[in-house]
Structure 1
Amino acid sequence: MSSKFKKRLKQLHGSREKRRRQSTQDEQSRVFTADDVEEQDLGIATSAVDAWRDHGADSRPTARGEAHFLVRHHPQSHQHGTKRLAEGAAVTLEGFRKQLNDARLHSADPSRLVFLDLETNGLSKTSFPFCIGIGVWEGSQFGVYHYFTPTEADEPASLSACAEILRDCEGLCTFNGSSFDVRMLQRRFSHYGIEHPLDDLAHLDLLHLARKLLPDRNGHKLSQLEEDVLGFGRTDDVPGAKIPGRWKQYLKTGSPHLLLDVFDHNRLDILSMVVLLPALAEGLGSSSDSARFKNRASKSDLGNRPSSSGSDQQARPPKAKPKTKLASQLSRTYALRKKAQSGGRRQPETRPTEQARQEDVPRETVKLAGSFSRAKLRRGMPIGTRLRELRGEVERLEREGRGDEERDEIVHRLHEMVALSPRNPFALERLVDYYRGTGDAALADHFAKRLDETSPF
């Protein structure tokens, strides 16, 4: 190490030590008072609350401070899909009492139910609800309240407001609340030492009811039931998986715009619960009503099943799942292989079975087996093992000769290797050479481009 470099290091070290000592002295001489801290915190909280007030937010006092909320009212005549909200207030809960074996539902008034749905910052045991969605009947109107936390410090006030509302109701209605929403609230109530009536309330979990009344459906997500049972479809809705990310962005920016459509997503969830309640009640009626309900609710989900009435009307096809990047690459490779096998070229022959090869039966009399055994892969055969087998076969065929038959066998296996491993350089190099030799410039350029993308240089 040169003396010049050592000298520079000593200067840097001395400069850092000088700043550290100066910083320590400043901290010791600075006197912090309680007033200073309160003013700083109050400034942050005030700016966050003011931003929400510009969007119509209000607040109410609770035992744990000011609880902030947004509210939106809907008339009884509000149409949600094929049903009106008024049907949710007039439904009879007796049938649900038998299904859920909960005697408390016998005396519960449907217009005194609280419809509850949470939006949380995650699914772990340390997660908390940054939005508590509560739907309640207020005379001839249905109000959807969103008690939210402008800052994380506002959670106890929101929970306290929720507990006060629950004490005045006769029952709780959720969708998967038994497994998530109620447990989350119980854990957060316990964390802050807030008393709550959740253990004593009658609880209608509509997900469990849907599973009991529609056991033949392939799925019971709320979005599926909205489309099939309620005839309601959403547009530009925030996917539930993206909601925790929205909350993290809000903490960084403080912009209420990031959460407004999350609250609207929550509002639609609550409205769907209100009208799903009478829809599920139809399945508890007479045998004819129950049959009509199950047929209507299951038609689109089980559309491939033949109709008992012999109707020629076709059911709506299921939604196609979005392709992953790998799936797109595989489908493109198979399409190219199909193109390579057409256009006057002879279809490649497949290998004889192992048993026929051992018995030395003539090739033309053997029942051929496909070179790509999906059954082996389903039974757990690793793709790497299959790739090694294919490479060995290609190298063997290259040694045996260069006839048309061997060439077709080689190309067949090379395409299979690319289908299993889209960036396999061994297969890509040989496919480029093969298609250049046959004069197929389009396919040669395609695989050459993929080979260039694979190269680390």
Structure 2
Amino acid sequence: MSSTLDRLRRLHGLRPQTRTDPDLPEPPRPAARNRRLEVLAPGDEIETEHGPCYVVTNRYEMDTVRGRRALADLLIRTPAGLAPLYPSACLTDADFQRVAFIDTETTGLGGGASVYAFMVGVGTFEFKGQRAKGKSGEDDDLPQFATRNSQSSPQFVVRQFFMRHPGEELALLTALADLLGDRSGVVTFNGRSFDVPLLRGRYKLNRHYLNVDAPNALWNDAAPHLDLLHPARRLWKGRLDSCSLGSLERSILAHQR
């Protein structure tokens, strides 16, 4: 019997129970840590016509180094060099200063109506001292693209739009559409197969409730879309065990998250 019980414990991950003296005090419990998003990732609530959207914003100067190169190095290059290799990506007239760099965190890896993007990260090159106008013509709180200004130097601005609960999805999609409204295309990593179809689906599912259309940069198949997964595989598939984003960051960019 004891051997049978031992097998069951191993199968079910159970440990033998030990008797304790009921008069002994309970060991102290660790203090609960505050895991509210607002504490872990300080940001701002922006108001939309569908309620608040929580946004974390970080700005980086052009001399900021990521991997082995400064951000400014990207702006002396153009995606057009990859156009002959990826004709369906529409990169001939693409400009890194006019696209949005997009990544998502989702509730699942499959498709379907039950998969939400609870965080959408967007990186854009913007110029200091500029604010776009809202629909009313007045400055508003939505994060909008700052138009080019020859008197200022650009920054790379990363915004993370969070959906803290499903009721905030309309606000997230509204704020995202506002930011991407002036963007000509997108840069992603595996976004052609996952991120962009997912976001298109969320806009489509909510189209009866939204007063904004899905951004052209996401919806238009003729908009430039540089999916970095494909050139990464072409360059490093034979050299690396994995071409996952994390592996490329560590092995090629020498960057640890």
TM > 0.5: yes
**Offset of 1:51 from its aligned partner?**
7.0
RMSD: 2.2
Distance 2:251 2:57 in 1: 29
Q: Which residue of 2 aligns with 1:142?
A: 156
Q: Which residue of 1 aligns with 2:78?
A: 92
Q: Which residue of 2 aligns with 1:24?
A: none
**Offset of 1:118 from its aligned partner?**
0.5
What is the CA deviation profile of residues 331-389 of structure 1, one whole-angstrom value per residue up to 9, with x for unaligned ones? xxxxxxxxxxxxxxxxxxxxxxxxxxxxxxxxxxxxxxxxxxxxxxxxxxxxxxxxxxx
Aligned residue among 129, 136, 154 for 2:117: 129
Distance 2:120 2:182 in 1: 17
**Offset of 1:215 from its aligned partner?**
4.2
The within-5 A match list for 1:17-416 is 52=38, 56-102=42-88, 104-124=90-110, 125=112, 126-139=114-127, 140-193=154-207, 194=210, 195-196=213-214, 197=216, 198-200=218-220, 201-217=223-239, 218-234=241-257
**Offset of 1:202 from its aligned partner?**
1.1
Q: Could you say which structure has the greater relative contact order, defined with CA pairs below 8 angstroms and 6 or more residues apart?
A: 2
Report if aligned partners of 1:105, 1:171 keep a CA contact under 8 Å in 2.
no
What is the CA deviation profile of residues 247-274 of structure 1, one whole-angstrom value per residue up to 9, with x for unaligned ones? xxxxxxxxxxxxxxxxxxxxxxxxxxxx
SS of residue in 1 equivalent to 2:201: helix
**Offset of 1:103 from its aligned partner?**
7.1
AA aligned to 1:192 is N
**Offset of 1:214 from its aligned partner?**
3.3
**Offset of 1:53 from its aligned partner?**
7.9
What is the CA deviation profile of residues 388-431 of structure 1, one whole-angstrom value per residue up to 9, with x for unaligned ones? xxxxxxxxxxxxxxxxxxxxxxxxxxxxxxxxxxxxxxxxxxxx
Higher helix share goes to which structure?
A: 1
Distance of aligned partners of 1:161 and 1:83 in 2 relative to their CA distance in 1, 3 Å threshold = same
Distance 2:98 2:124 in 1: 7
- Gaps (5+ residues) in structure 1? 1-49, 235-457
Higher strand share goes to which structure?
A: 2
Distance 2:87 2:48 in 1: 35
AA aligned to 1:154 is E
Report if aligned partners of 2:121, 2:161 keep a CA contact under 8 Å in 1.
yes
Give the alignment's TM-score, normalised by structure 2.
0.66
AA aligned to 1:136 is T
Distance 1:77 1:107 in 2: 26
**Offset of 1:216 from its aligned partner?**
1.9
Matched-pair identity in %:
33
- Gaps (5+ residues) in structure 2? 1-35, 128-153
Report if aligned partners of 1:90, 1:110 keep a CA contact under 8 Å in 2.
no
Report if aligned partners of 1:77, 1:85 keep a CA contact under 8 Å in 2.
yes
Report if aligned partners of 1:90, 1:111 keep a CA contact under 8 Å in 2.
no
AA aligned to 1:89 is L
**Offset of 1:171 from its aligned partner?**
1.4
For the pair shown, the structure with the greater C-alpha radius of gyration is: 1
Distance 1:110 1:199 in 2: 19
Structure 1 runs (4+) deviating above 4 angstroms are: none
**Offset of 1:227 from its aligned partner?**
2.2
SS of residue in 2 equivalent to 1:181: helix
AA aligned to 2:124 is V
